[in-house]
Structures are given as C-alpha cells and as structure tokens.
C-alpha cells in the first residue's frame, strides 16, 4: 500500500516542499462578489412617496449684510470699507453688531500680509469676544 508520506529512502524525499498558497481562486471569488455588489447596490435605494406636512414655524430671518474684517499687505485694518485702528477694533465691532458677540465675522487677509499680523488680528477679535470668525479665501487658487 502506498503511503502519503514518502519514506526517507524514496527518490521523492529529495524534492523541496511546496509551501505556497494558491490565491487565484480567492481573487476569483472576490471579483465575483465585487461584481454582485456593484449590480445589487443601485437596487437597494428606496423610493417612497411621502406627503410631508407643511411647516408652521416662520423661517428665521437672514442675517444682515455680512461683516468683513480685512487686513491689507501694508498692515492697514478695515472694518467693512472703513479703515480702523487696531486698538479701536473691539469697540467699533460692538457698535456695528449691537453688542451681539455671537454674530459671525468674516476675516480676509491679503496674501502678502505677514502671518504675525494675521494672528494679531485674530487674537484681537478673540479678546473682543468675537469667537465666530470665518476665514475668507479667494477662489481660483491663483
């Protein structure tokens, strides 16, 4: 009777052992599953017709004209279109917003402005109590 394991005096004992795992069937199964999921996933969306009730609450009023704080390359600071001294920024913001420190401000700085100056203005806004500051960039990346 033939043995599954070669005997030491057999000619096959000199052959190296085969220790590789054949991953080709695994890859085939994964590709079939991928195709099945790609075909089935669009069918999983649910399209229900629902008659939603109308809202009774009044829509919130839109905020007033956005308030821009601008820093130019020559270190000049502007609130809207008018120039502002850094020491008066907090007082003028309070006058412009009516003391509403929850209002969002938009800060735009010239790309030639020093990083130190940008952080100085942002720190002045924080010290004045205005924590909601949006940074404005120019579209186009150029």
State the pLDDT at residue 137: 79
In this structure, is residue 125 part of a structural domain? yes
- State whether 71 and 121 are in the same domain: yes
- Would you say residue 21 has pLDDT above 80? yes
**Domain-embedded: residue 34:** yes
Identify the CATH number of the domain in which residue 123 sits.
Answer: 3.30.420.270
Q: Are residues 85 and 121 in the same domain?
A: yes
Res. 17: pLDDT tops 80: no
Q: Quick one: 119 and 74 in the same domain?
A: yes
- pLDDT score recorded for residue 136: 85
Confirm whether 124 is domain-assigned.
Answer: yes
Whether the predicted pLDDT of 1 surpasses 70: no
**Residue 58 pLDDT > 90, yes or no?**
no
pLDDT score recorded for residue 92 = 92
Between the alpha carbon of residue 71 and those of residues 65, 99, 131, the distances in Å are 19, 22, 18
Per-residue pLDDT, averaged over 32-36, amounts to: 96
Asked whether residue 96 is assigned to any structural domain, the reply reads yes
Is residue 120 in some structural domain? yes
Q: How many CB atoms lie under 10 A from the CB of residue 118?
A: 15
Banded model confidence at residue 75, pLDDT cuts 50, 70, 90: confident
Task: Reply yes or no on whether the pLDDT at 2 is more than 60.
Answer: no
Higher pLDDT, 89 or 14: 89
User: Do both 72 and 127 map to the same domain?
Assistant: yes
Are 39 and 71 found together in one domain? no
Q: Is residue 61 part of a domain?
A: no
Total of domains in the chain: 2
pLDDT (tens digit per residue) in 116-134: 999 999 999 999 999 999 8
In a domain, residue 2? The reply is no
In this prediction the pTM is: 0.54
Q: Report d(CA 131, CA 129) in Å as an integer.
A: 6
Q: Which of 9-13, 16-20, 37-41, 50-54 has the lowest mean pLDDT?
A: 9-13
- Do 38 and 92 belong together in one domain? no
Asked if residue 54 is part of any domain, the answer here is: no
Q: How far is CA 41 from CA 34, 35, 37, 45, 87, in A?
A: 10, 10, 6, 8, 60
Per-residue pLDDT, 29: 96
Pick the more confident residue, 13 or 123: 123
Question: Taking the mean position of all CA atoms in its chain, how far away is CA 92?
Answer: 33
Q: Which domain holds residue 37?
A: 19-44
- Whether residues 73 and 127 share a domain: the answer is yes
CA distance 96 to 64: 11
Query: Mean pLDDT for the chain?
Result: 83
């Amino acid at each position: 009777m033939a043995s599954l394991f070669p005997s030491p005096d057999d000619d096959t004992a000199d052959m190296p052992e085969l220790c590789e795992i054949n991953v080709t069937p695994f890859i085939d199964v994964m590709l079939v599953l991928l195709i099945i999921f790609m075909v089935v996933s669009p069918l999983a969306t649910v399209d229900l017709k629902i008659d939603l009730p109308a809202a009774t609450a009044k829509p919130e009023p839109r905020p007033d004209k956005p308030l821009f704080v601008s820093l130019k390359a020559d270190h000049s600071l502007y609130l809207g279109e008018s120039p502002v001294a850094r020491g008066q920024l907090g007082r003028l913001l309070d006058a412009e917003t009516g003391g509403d420190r929850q209002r969002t401000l938009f800060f735009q700085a010239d790309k030639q402005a020093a990083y130190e100056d940008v952080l100085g203005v942002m720190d002045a806004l924080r010290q004045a109590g205005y924590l909601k500051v949006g940074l404005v960039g120019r579209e186009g990346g150029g």
